[in-house]
Amino acid sequence: MRDSELAISIRALTKFYNNLQALDKIAFEVKRGDFFAFLGPNGAGKTTTINVLTGLSNYQSGEVKVFGYDVTAEYLHSRRLIGLCAQESNFDPFLSIYQLLVYQAEYFGIPPWEAKRRANELLERFGLEEKRNAKHRALSGGMKKRLLLCRALIHDPEILILDEPTSGCDLELKFLIWDYLLQLNKEGKTIFLTTHYMEEAEKLCKTIGIINNGKIVRIGDKKQILQDKSLQDVFLEITGIE
């Protein structure tokens, strides 16, 4: 890994879907080891930003780096470092959940014996071992969320990008995920989280970025942004929602 103090660095990133401008010259940085909450209303451009970071979307202009690696020119390096927990589940329908974790590890160059060990460990960690031979269709919504997390973690990424990881989760699972994320962050992993739950962001993160209509409207340290207000009030104020 390149010796970069910045886990993410985005400069003047512009992204269009045909004529629709989803990102308008956005720029921000996330430090290595940070717990970053990326907030914004529906359609603000959060998932689009994540897709650019992970290489799932092309973009028209700007410079996007992950740990110093350009996500276009040096994609083989940047992709190795990222674990993505996507907003919607998208699993191979022909594979059992155990198989799909093993394959995912191997796509990242992890040898089969180690891939199997990690798959078993994660299935156990997230209480899915009973379902190991099931196809993902046979999982409940919360179980799918857990599986998404397992898949994101299978190659031990340096930065974990989570697109609404707790939406639709019950309280117990929410707490399990929160604890796990805090522990990972303590171990030095960078976490990039989008969520619509203000209390979640307020509880977990160190830094907050807010995007609205494809523009970054506020970014900074949590304390500095909140001062004495609640995150919900700050959010409503910044995004102009009454």
Ligand X SMILES: Nc1ncnc2c1ncn2[C@@H]1O[C@H](COP(=O)(O)OP(=O)(O)OP(=O)(O)O)[C@@H](O)[C@H]1O
Which chain residues interact with Mg ion by CB under 5 A?
A: 46-47, 87
Residue 43 touches which member of Mg ion, another protein, ligand X, none, C-beta under 5-8 Å by kind: ligand X
Report the distance separating Cα 34 and Cα 42, nearest Å: 24
Using CB under 8 A, pick the residue from 82, 147, 148, 173 that binds another protein. Answer: 82
Q: Is residue 58 a contact point for another protein (CB under 8 A)?
A: yes
* Contact (Cβ atoms closer than 8 angstroms) between residue 81 and residue 30: no
Q: Is residue 49 a contact point for another protein (CB under 8 A)?
A: no
**Strand-strand pairing, 6-17 and 20-31:** antiparallel
Chain centroid to CA 30: how far? 13
Residue 91 touches which member of Mg ion, another protein, ligand X, none, C-beta under 5-8 Å by kind: another protein
Q: Is residue 86 a contact point for ligand X (CB under 6 A)?
A: no
CB of 196 to another protein, least distance (A): 22
**Strand-strand pairing, 207-212 and 190-194:** unpaired
* Contact (Cβ atoms closer than 8 angstroms) between residue 210 and residue 219: yes
Residue 73 touches which member of Mg ion, ligand X, another protein, none, C-beta under 5-8 Å by kind: another protein
Partners of residue 13 on adjacent β-strands:
26
Residue 110 touches which member of ligand X, another protein, Mg ion, none, C-beta under 5-8 Å by kind: another protein
Residue 120 touches which member of ligand X, another protein, Mg ion, none, C-beta under 5-8 Å by kind: none
Nearer to Mg ion, 47 or 185 (CB): 47
Give phi and psi for 70, each to the nearest 5.
Answer: -65, 130
For every residue of 113-177, DSSP letters joined together read HHHHHHHHHHHHHTT-GGGTTSBGGGS-HHHHHHHHHHHHHTT--SEEEEESTTTT--HHHHHHH
Question: What is the identity of the amino acid at 228?
Answer: D
Using CB under 6 A, pick the residue from 26, 35, 48, 54 that binds ligand X. Answer: 48
Chain centroid to CA 224: how far? 23
Nearer to Mg ion, 59 or 69 (CB): 59
Q: Which residues contact ligand X (rule: CB under 6 A)?
A: 17, 20, 22, 40, 42-48, 87
In the complex, which residues of this chain contact another protein (CB under 8 A)?
Answer: 17, 51, 54-58, 73-77, 79-80, 82, 84, 86, 88, 90-95, 100, 103-104, 106-112, 151
